[in-house]
């Protein structure tokens, strides 16, 4: 069985200006799944247009914990977090 070394928490910008946060071992592949409508239920009705941010973690647990923590933030706090890493939304 192949060992996976890279785990990511990622943030997508959707066409309706909402943010979607997820977890993956391959963010580009997962983004394409979202675009094709075979990703999460949320992104089927909120079309993703861009990967805003991805953060790499050494363990699945750490990536999932980061995803959960980010999802608990208000939109304003999410935008503030993204601004700290150099992603500026209007």
Let me know: does 20 contact 46? Beta carbons within 8 Å. yes
How many CA atoms lie within 13 Å of 42's alpha carbon, on the beta-carbon side? 12
SS3 9: strand
Let me know: does 10 contact 30? Beta carbons within 8 Å. yes
37-90: pLDDT as tens digits: 998 999 999 999 999 999 999 999 999 999 999 999 999 999 999 999 999 997
Q: Which domains does the chain have, with CATH numbers?
A: 7-84 (3.40.1440.10)
Enclosing H/E stretch for 41: helix 41-45
pTM over 0.85: yes
77 contact partners, CB below 8 Å, separation of at least 6:
none
Q: How does residue 2 score in pLDDT terms, banded at 50, 70 and 90?
A: low
């Amino acid at each position: 069985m192949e060992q996976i070394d890279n785990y990511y928490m990622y943030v997508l910008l959707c066409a309706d200006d909402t943010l979607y946060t997820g977890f993956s071992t391959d963010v580009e592949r997962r983004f394409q799944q979202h675009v094709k409508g075979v990703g999460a239920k949320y992104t089927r009705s909120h079309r993703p247009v861009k990967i805003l941010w991805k953060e790499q973690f050494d363990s699945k647990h750490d990536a999932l914990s980061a995803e959960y923590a980010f999802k608990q933030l208000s939109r304003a706090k999410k935008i503030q977090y993204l601004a700290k890493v150099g992603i500026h939304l209007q």
